[in-house]
Amino acid sequence: MENPVAPTALVTAVQEAIPDDAVLAHITTLFKVLGDKTRARILYALYESELSVSGIVAVLDMSQSSVSHQLQTLKQAGLVKNRRAGKMIYYSLADHHVISIFSQVIQHVNEDQN
């Protein structure tokens, strides 16, 4: 018997579209990493410009150890990447997906505030 609220075919289609547990675990980890205010500040700074650790320290007025620790977490989550130029290491958002996600979050928050 068909469910009047959700037809069987629809239920099946939606169930099949839901990612497996490994993908869902990765998604929830990503949101946990994004859910920290300090990491969000670092991501916002890197959204504006590629920066060295000392640049992030100056922009956000944080300790170098705090910035380095948070950058490690962001890098492990695949949200930031780094490149070496001589003795300096510069950080930036990892790829266009991260830039797009962060841009859309900013737009969403700004819409809610207007």
> Can you say whether the dihedral through the CA atoms of 19, 21, 25, 28 is positive or negative?
positive
The answer to whether residue 5 sits within a structural domain is no
The answer to whether residue 4 sits within a structural domain is no
The answer to whether residue 53 sits within a structural domain is yes
The answer to whether residue 60 sits within a structural domain is yes
Instruction: Give yes or no for residue 34 having a pLDDT over 80.
Output: yes
The answer to whether residue 32 sits within a structural domain is yes
**Residue 35, domain CATH:** 1.10.10.10
Q: What is the pTM of this model?
A: 0.81
State what percent of residues in the chain have pLDDT above 70: 96
H-assigned helices in 35-95: 37-48, 53-60, 64-76
Q: How many distinct structural domains can be found in the chain?
A: 1
Res. 3 pLDDT band, cuts 50 70 90: low
The answer to whether residue 70 sits within a structural domain is yes
> What's the pLDDT at 102?
82
The answer to whether residue 6 sits within a structural domain is no
Report pLDDT digits (tens) over 14-26: 999 999 999 999 9
Instruction: Give yes or no for residue 72 having a pLDDT over 70.
Output: yes
CA atoms of 85 and 49, how far apart (whole Å)? 16
85: domain range?
18-110
By C-alpha distance, which of 80, 114, 83 is closest to 97?
Answer: 80
Strand order in the sheet with 80-85: 51-52, 88-93, 80-85
The answer to whether residue 9 sits within a structural domain is no
CA atoms of 107 and 65, how far apart (whole Å)? 31
Report pLDDT digits (tens) over 40-52: 999 999 999 999 9
> What's the pLDDT at 76?
95
